Structure 1
Amino acid sequence: MALTALDYAKKAEQLCALPDVYLRLKEILDDEKTSLDEIADIIILDPALSSTLLKLANSAFFNFPREIDSISRALMVLGIKEVNNLINTYGVTQAFANVNEHIIDMDRFWEVSVDCALLCKYLAKKKNIPEADGLFLSGLLHNVGTLAMMQSEDKKLQYCEQYDSDETPWQRQQDVFGFTFAEVSAELLCLWQLPEKIIKPIREYHQAYSQELSPTSSLLYITSRLALINSHPGMYSKKTFLGKHLMDDLDITMDEINEAIDFCNGEGLAIMSALKLKK
């Protein structure tokens, strides 16, 4: 009997543990009575998390005019919602910190993931997409199911990664497994109890071309493909690959697409460095 996306997600959940500090923070962030000082006290106890949050807070990603030099200030300036997003970012990326780097090109994997996240952030802000505050994380984690599949299907995974201009990685995934790795991503993030607003676009975006879905799902469809284009120059055409009717629906022009690419090319390495994703 063929395994489902959920089956693979459950296997990965057992093998890839979320950091203890993340689990503790998630617990107190879910409590509305928790104070900023209590959150700061826990973050400070983990030097890696503290360093990551401060690097991200001081990056052009947020573009604050003054340096954010403490966790307390980061919490006050960014707000609980944004810090929660950054903590989720840290937790999930650290869970996969020790995966086998010889199965796929991990630098390219994270490059595509970070590019997709930055493209989501840039275009969502540019076009005032509603309900988009979790879309950076949706972009970053949309393909984390690939890392989940590495735990038990390395040979088939390598085949799925050998796509070319005549097909997409998602077509190979569907042909080999009967589902895309985005479905595994969504199932795994559900098991880890991330917010539904982050998971929903990941679950839906492959259907955005043929169905009328939310703007966040449509935008993730566009940005996931744009990130792939950006990592494989010349392999795919922006004019035919992005879904023109989706761009029209969101009122996104090709000039804005090119601006978004410039933004992610300028910020991508800094974000990968802050998250310690670049080898």
Structure 2
Amino acid sequence: MGRLPVDALEPGMVLASDLLGSDGKMLLPKGMTLTDSLIGSLRKRGVPGADVADSGGGDAGAGDVTEALLQESAAHVVRRFLANDLSHPAIAALYEIAVMAQAHALAEGVPIVPEIGPNPRAESMGDLFFREEGGVEDLVDSEVKLASFPDIYFKIRQVLDSPVSTSAQVADVISKDTSLTAKLLKLVNSPFYGLPHRVDSISRAVIVLGSQEVSTLALGIAAMNAFKDIPPELINMRTFWEHSMAVGVFARLLGDAVAGKGSERLFVAGVLHDIGRLVIFKKLPHAAVEAIYYAKGNMTPLCVAESEVLGFSHPLIGGLLLKAWKFPEALVTTVSCHHAPSSSPGDVEAAVLHLADIMAVALGHTPPASVMVPALDPDAWATLGLDPDRLAEVADAGRDQIDEIVGAFFPVRKN
């Protein structure tokens, strides 16, 4: 079809080539299907036009989305959003993005994956902690005392807490853990950072990113290894971490969209935002299963079901746990408030993590046993001051980054 002026673009048209902005940065990739919100965003940005594929040929796949597939996609996706107001501009934009993404997957022959409930054997598991034994703080304290936390975490913490430590010492401590080093270097060299030159050592990573940033990433990755003994009947750990990494990617990208720069702390907050849920699965497996059934039966987000069944939810547990592990206070607050950012009014990072979690679930990066999109806090959205059209750009930028990072941590695909 060739190049068309922006006013001639229509929803459903497919980009024949990458669409670049005046600064040379990619706005939308080749193969992207245009929507009303994307076309509106291009107008606002002053984009003169775009190359679109001939509807009768060209690169197949992206142009094969039919009205029937869109309807099938919408019927599936709308269930995720039952806890939200679809008339809210941000939710409407995410819903449109999610429907189109699901329709493309269907066009490519990827079937809709059915929801899988807890393994029946999980229902017979007994809780290891009871309310009469103490409060939430006691639950976390018992986990902190029993957890076999990686030694590398404490070694990094010791260096960071020393007033005379140097960047070289930080790099030296991290480099001694070969597994951690490999994961960090894969992350630093991924499209997530988009560095112009390959970084082949932790010392170089410290120079490029800074010792605080690298240390924060290292602490976050080390924390992932603290929960390896949760029965697979309760939770698919790969799926859990895939969701967490998706939230981390979206948090960093949203931080960049809001403040002009994403931080490693936002990425780590995303990776660890649901870590309180692991404590619940580990200490209260029977109650955790009850919460899952409650969420499914009442079509409500799992965090709401946790509060109904347990009297508390995972953000509180996660915040207390990270505080006990001496993570930065700002990160602790962000994690604690990610489902209730209004409890920390005006906190941009809490609002960013809140929206990142919503985006991840909306776009299909769902945590195990929880497919409902958490309710958007309108005040948090107002705090960010984002144009809803930017969400499509963040979603598209995050897609490849998520796959790349998940591949770095989990090189073997799940069945």
TM-score by length of 2: 0.61
**Which residue is 1:154 aligned to?**
285
Moved more, 213-222 or 175-184: 213-222
- 8 Å CA contact 2:253–2:262 kept in 1: the answer is no
Residues in 2 aligned to 1:210 and 1:187: alpha-carbon distance in whole angstroms:
16
Q: 1:27 aligns with which of 134, 143, 158?
A: 158
Q: Residues 21 and 246 (structure 1 numbering): CA distance in 2 closer, same or farther, change over 3 Å?
A: closer
Q: 1:120 aligns with which of 236, 251, 259?
A: 251
Moved more, 101-110 or 243-252: 243-252
Q: 1:173 aligns with which of 290, 306, 311?
A: 306
Provide the secondary structure at the position in 2 that maps to 1:161.
Answer: helix
The within-5 A match list for 1:130-279 is 134-162=265-293, 163-164=295-296, 166-209=299-342, 212-231=345-364, 241-276=375-410
Residue by residue over 1:181-218, the C-alpha shift from the partner in whole angstroms, topping out at 9 and shown as x without a partner, is 11000011111111101001122233325773411112
Q: Residues 13 and 172 (structure 1 numbering): CA distance in 2 closer, same or farther, change over 3 Å?
A: same
The within-5 A match list for 1:60-79 is 60-79=191-210
Equivalent AA in structure 2 for residue 265 of structure 1: R
Residue by residue over 1:74-121, the C-alpha shift from the partner in whole angstroms, topping out at 9 and shown as x without a partner, is 111111121011111121101123432221232332122111111110
Q: 1:88 aligns with which of 193, 197, 219?
A: 219
Q: Residues 218 and 266 (structure 1 numbering): CA distance in 2 closer, same or farther, change over 3 Å?
A: same
Q: Residues 11 and 2 (structure 1 numbering): CA distance in 2 closer, same or farther, change over 3 Å?
A: closer
**Which residue is 2:139 aligned to?**
8
Task: Looking at secondary structure, tell me which structure has more helix per residue.
Answer: 1
Residues in 1 aligned to 2:403 and 2:319: alpha-carbon distance in whole angstroms:
26
Equivalent AA in structure 2 for residue 4 of structure 1: G
Per-residue deviation, 1:58: 0.6
Is 2:178 aligned against 1:44? no
- 8 Å CA contact 1:134–1:198 kept in 2: the answer is yes
Equivalent AA in structure 1 for residue 286 of structure 2: K
Equivalent AA in structure 2 for residue 214 of structure 1: D
What value does the CA root-mean-square deviation take over the aligned residues? 2.6
Structure 2: 5+ residue stretches without partners: 1-131
Moved more, 74-83 or 38-47: 38-47
Per-residue deviation, 1:24: 0.8
Residues in 1 aligned to 2:201 and 2:193: alpha-carbon distance in whole angstroms:
15
TM-score by length of 1: 0.88
Equivalent AA in structure 1 for residue 147 of structure 2: C
Equivalent AA in structure 1 for residue 409 of structure 2: L
Q: 1:105 aligns with which of 212, 216, 236?
A: 236
Residues in 1 aligned to 2:224 and 2:255: alpha-carbon distance in whole angstroms:
23
- 8 Å CA contact 1:247–1:253 kept in 2: the answer is no
Query: Per chain length, whose mean CA-contact separation is higher, i.e. which structure has more relative contact order (CA < 8 Å, sep 6+)?
Result: 1
Residues in 1 aligned to 2:262 and 2:195: alpha-carbon distance in whole angstroms:
23
Q: Indicate the percent of aligned positions where both proteins have the same amino acid.
A: 25
In our comparison, the structure showing a higher alpha carbon Rg is 2
